[in-house]
Amino acid sequence: MKKKVGEYGALTVSVLMLIAGIIIQSLDIVWFDYKGVKLIWFAAAYIPVAFPVIKEAVEEIQKGEVFSEFTLMTIATAGAFLIGEYPEGVAVMLFYAIGEKFQDHAVDKAKRDIKALVDIRPERASVIIDGIVTQCKPEVVQIGDMIEVKPGERVPLDGVLLSDVALFNTSALTGESVPKSI
């Protein structure tokens, strides 16, 4: 749980400060118009989400990658600040950071799903040699060997179906719970 708080803390701070700053600005609150107050307010909203991006931009530039997405985001949002469009600068960087979080979660989920698929592969294959079923590791099965897969067993290898039709549970691959007729 602590990781989630730390993971979303910067985003939460930036969102809250951006919304509060926009509301204060739209209400024409006098103290917000004092010299530098808006800049400081929106810079405080910007820094938590921008720091990791700026850090990546610097690292990419040091590697010779001048036009990376990190550099372009840094330039775009710095430009917004330079022309006095502070909320827009914060919003652009914030939306970028949120997009990166979604992408990270999608990549992590894909990795977990692939690992789960690898974990369900059988450790044994039933190879038929001269009419006798022998158990062996799938790695040692040769191309052309005949394997037997009984109902409820997992298919250990790719192959050609020798019977007319069979039902396979492909839910781990397709996400569909209905057996597939092959």
Nearest CA among 126, 122, 44 for reference residue 87: 44
Same domain, 79 and 135: no
Please state, in angstroms and rounded to a whole number, the distance separating the CA atoms of residues 91 and 42. 10
Would you state the pLDDT for residue 1?
40
Which structure tokens are listed for 49?
């989400």
Total count of domains within the chain: 2
Pick from 61, 66, 18, 58: nearest CA to 41: 18
**Mean of per-residue pLDDT scores for the chain:** 88
Q: Supply the angle between the helices 37-62 and 86-119 in degrees, to the nearest 10.
A: 50
Indicate if 106 and 161 belong to the same structural domain. Answer: no
Prediction pTM value: 0.64
pLDDT reported for residue 182:
81
81-123: per-residue pLDDT in tens? Answer: 999 999 999 999 999 999 999 999 999 998 888 887 777 778 8
On whether both 94 and 8 belong to a single domain, the answer is yes
Check whether 71 has a pLDDT greater than 90. Answer: yes
Same domain, 99 and 155: no
Least confident stretch, 66-75, 97-106, 129-138, 159-168: 159-168
Residues 74 and 54: their CA atoms lie apart, in Å, by 6
Query: What DSSP element (H or E) covers 55?
Result: helix 37-62
pLDDT score recorded for residue 2: 45
With the C-alpha atoms ordered 70, 72, 75, 79, is the resulting torsion angle positive or negative?
A: negative
First to last CA, the chain: 44
Both 82 and 146 in a single domain? Answer: no
| pLDDT cut 70: percent of the chain above it | 96
Residues 23 and 8 in one domain: yes
Quote the domain boundaries for residue 31: 2-119
93, 140: one domain? no
